[in-house]
Amino acid sequence: MKTILNFVTNYKGFVFGKVRQGSQGIAVEIHPRKNSKAVCSECGKPCPTYDTFQTPRRFEFVPLWNIPVFFLYKMRRVTCPEHGVIVERVPWGDGKCTQTIEQRQFLANWARRLSWSEVAECFHTTFGKVFRAVKWIVEYGLEHRNLDGVESIGIDEVQIRKGHKYATLVYQIDDGNKRLLGVEADRTEESLENFFKDFDEGTKGEDKRSLKIKWVCSDMWKAYLNVVGKVCSNALNILDRFHVKGHLTEAVNDVRKMDVAKLKKEGREPVLTKSKYIFLKNPENLTDDQADKMSELLGYNLRVVRAYLMKEDFERFWEYKTAYWAGRFLDAWCVRAMRSKMEPMKKFVKMVRKHRELLMNWFRSKGLSSGVVEGFNNRVKLTARKAYGFRSLESLKIALFHALGKLPEPKNTHRFW
Ligand SMILES: [Zn+2]
């Protein structure tokens, strides 16, 4: 046991002592190496020992062959010229936490592959301990991450709970470096301003990180556009294809609802029953049954059918090679949509016309893949669903950073997972 522990750890100034096996697992004593000095937990300087606790403290280590392993160590207090009488620092843990750094890292890394409760179950620990392990590693990562060199960001809002609870998420979407950069409560100007406050920390004047951003991909949400215009003054703001499509899909769905109500009012055959997802899906994703239903519906003279066809037609906009021809297509499309006399479609056109410039920026940013934000959006929703039961935004934030933040981790002698 000692040989293995010496192989996987490197605790300078300490040696492993007696190893006992009890009902709770394997207990390993740790002692200070002879003539080694304890270290102040505040400043890390070696100091004379003041006294030693008589009851050993218990630290959980990584289980071996499914047997729990824990360390027993009698903590010392030191007399630090600067910090007075203070408890020592030990290399396998910190403060009052009973989990070793190795165990926290071990649990946290499994928590990327399994749900947190599965991790607790597999490794004979509690959900709370898995949570604290993840929290610790996320905090370490946020403290040590490097935010320099971010050139493209994507901003997205995600509904985190039913009843309009939103969070603002910011991603780095550069080629070769895509990661979650920030999670802020709500989707107000303040949310985004809070993000940039953190993001710019440690930089000032012309060296501000927000001024080095060249591309911002976002929705037409006014609060975001305002802040981006103010803070990222060197960036080109692009409307994300994914968000534009989202608005258009919503318009088609609103037309569908109007049609359903109209058919019902006129006492006609309810042909639109169970059609919602048919109109929301991309045609290539329809099942055989849905495709049959769709071709049947296309035969009816319904407003939703016309709206749907317009939505499909709009896809061509993104295929243009030049902004000029895309712009001509867009304007012609908008005229047709306005003539359609469908309120939701007209509402969409008004939005597009208002932000035409930002929409056209998409063609200047060729190469900046807009699928990235959409991909993150899906993964965020998945993580939020897996983290179901989290009461606070704070815990969701930890889960999201853990899954998508690409955060640095403490270096180890041995990789336990
Ligand atoms: Zn000190």
pLDDT for the residue 412: 81
Contact of 220 with 358, CB cutoff 8 Å: yes
**Residue 53 pLDDT more than 90?**
yes
Element (H, E) at 183: strand 177-185
d(CA 108, CA 417): 10
pLDDT for the residue 349: 94
Element (H, E) at 200: none
Residues 6+ apart with CB under 8 A from 271: 263, 296, 297, 300, 302
Element (H, E) at 74: none
**pLDDT higher at 206 or 159:** 206
Mean pLDDT of 14-19: 96
pLDDT for the residue 95: 64
**% of the chain residues with pLDDT over 90:** 59
Residue 39 CA, ligand 1 centroid: distance in Å: 8
> At 344, is the pLDDT very low, low, confident or very high (cuts 50, 70, 90)?
very high
pLDDT for the residue 363: 83
pTM of the model: 0.81
d(CA 304, CA 271): 12
> At 227, is the pLDDT very low, low, confident or very high (cuts 50, 70, 90)?
very high
> At 162, is the pLDDT very low, low, confident or very high (cuts 50, 70, 90)?
low
Mean pLDDT of 75-88: 95
Contact of 337 with 350, CB cutoff 8 Å: no
| Three-state SS at 401 | helix
**Residue 391 pLDDT more than 80?**
no
Contact of 116 with 139, CB cutoff 8 Å: no
**In degrees to the nearest 10, what's the CA dihedral of 167, 173, 177, 183?**
-10
Model confidence pLDDT, tens digit, residues 163-206 = 668 899 999 998 889 999 999 999 999 999 999 999 999 999 98
pLDDT for the residue 160: 75
SS3 content of the chain, % helix, strand, coil (to 5): 45, 20, 30
**% of the chain residues with pLDDT over 70:** 96
Residue 65 CA, ligand 1 centroid: distance in Å: 39
10 Å Cβ neighbour count for 130? 25
Mean pLDDT of 103-121: 91
Residue 89 CA, ligand 1 centroid: distance in Å: 10
Residue 37's region, left for phi above 0, alpha for psi from -120 to 50, else beta, is: beta
pLDDT for the residue 32: 96
Residue 241 CA, ligand 1 centroid: distance in Å: 55
What the block records as the tokens of 184 is 């802020």
Residue 44 CA, ligand 1 centroid: distance in Å: 6
Residue 47 CA, ligand 1 centroid: distance in Å: 8
Residue 103 CA, ligand 1 centroid: distance in Å: 27
Can you give the three-state secondary structure of 6-34, one letter per residue? HHHCCCCCEEEEEEEEECCEEEEEEEECC
Contact of 156 with 184, CB cutoff 8 Å: no
Residue 82 CA, ligand 1 centroid: distance in Å: 5
Residue 90 CA, ligand 1 centroid: distance in Å: 14
Residue 83 CA, ligand 1 centroid: distance in Å: 5
